[in-house]
Structure formats: C-alpha cells, structure tokens
C-alpha cells in the first residue's frame, strides 16, 4: 500500500485528474440547473400566494372574542355549543 502512495505522489492520481476535468466540462456543457413546475403546480403556487394575502374572517372574530374576555363581557352559551357539536357530529362535517 505504501508503494501506491509513493506512485501517486510522483505521478499524481491520473484518474482523479480526469474525473475533475470531466466534471468541469460537464458543468460548462450543462449550464445552470433548472426547475420547471407543471401548470398545476404553477396554479397551486399562485392560489397559495393570493390566499396568504387575504385576511381571514376568523381573525376579526378572534379579536372580538379576546376583547370580550379581557373586559369580562364574554358569555359562554353552553346550549349553543352543545347544539353546534351535535349538528356537526350528525352532519359529518368538521
């Protein structure tokens, strides 16, 4: 094994040099990497971009409820909560 190390020191690792040369050539030949999205992917990305800019209705509702809780004016309606839970359970909707 020591002899191979000496040979590589004197002559260099020719295969390694060829591999590096090929890599450099291939980079030049192929240019930059590219990513192309399908039309569905582009549509989905556009929808996500637009949706992220729309404030949700729930944000305003949450702010209202938080304000009521802080002021002590928030009233829990157990009958309404129970009715809504039962309706959601039997309708199969979440």
pLDDT for 40-89, tens place per residue? Answer: 888 888 888 888 887 777 888 889 999 999 999 999 999 999 999 999 88
Could you tell me the pLDDT band of residue 1, with boundaries at 50, 70 and 90?
very low
Residue 15, pLDDT > 50, answer yes
Q: Does some domain include residue 72?
A: yes
Q: Does some domain include residue 17?
A: yes
Is the pTM here over 0.75, yes or no?
A: no
Domain that holds residue 19: 1-29
59 and 94 in a common domain: yes
How far, in Å, are 8, 12, 29, 71, 78 from residue 49 at the CA level?
56, 54, 35, 36, 39
Total domain count, the chain: 2
How far, in Å, are 52, 71, 92 from residue 60 at the CA level?
16, 17, 27
Q: Does some domain include residue 38?
A: no
Q: Does some domain include residue 50?
A: no
Q: Does some domain include residue 44?
A: no
Q: Does some domain include residue 36?
A: no
Q: Does some domain include residue 47?
A: no
Q: Which carries the bigger pLDDT value, residue 67 or residue 16?
A: 67
């Amino acid at each position: 094994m020591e002899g191979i190390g000496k040979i590589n020191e004197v002559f260099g690792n020719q295969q390694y040099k060829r591999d590096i040369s090929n890599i450099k050539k291939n980079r030049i030949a192929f240019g930059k990497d590219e990513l192309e999205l399908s039309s569905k992917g582009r549509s989905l990305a556009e929808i996500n971009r637009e949706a992220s800019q729309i404030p949700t209705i729930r944000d305003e509702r949450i702010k209202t409820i938080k304000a009521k809780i802080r002021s002590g004016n928030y009233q829990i309606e157990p009958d309404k909560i129970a009715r809504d839970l039962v309706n959601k359970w039997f309708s199969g909707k979440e």
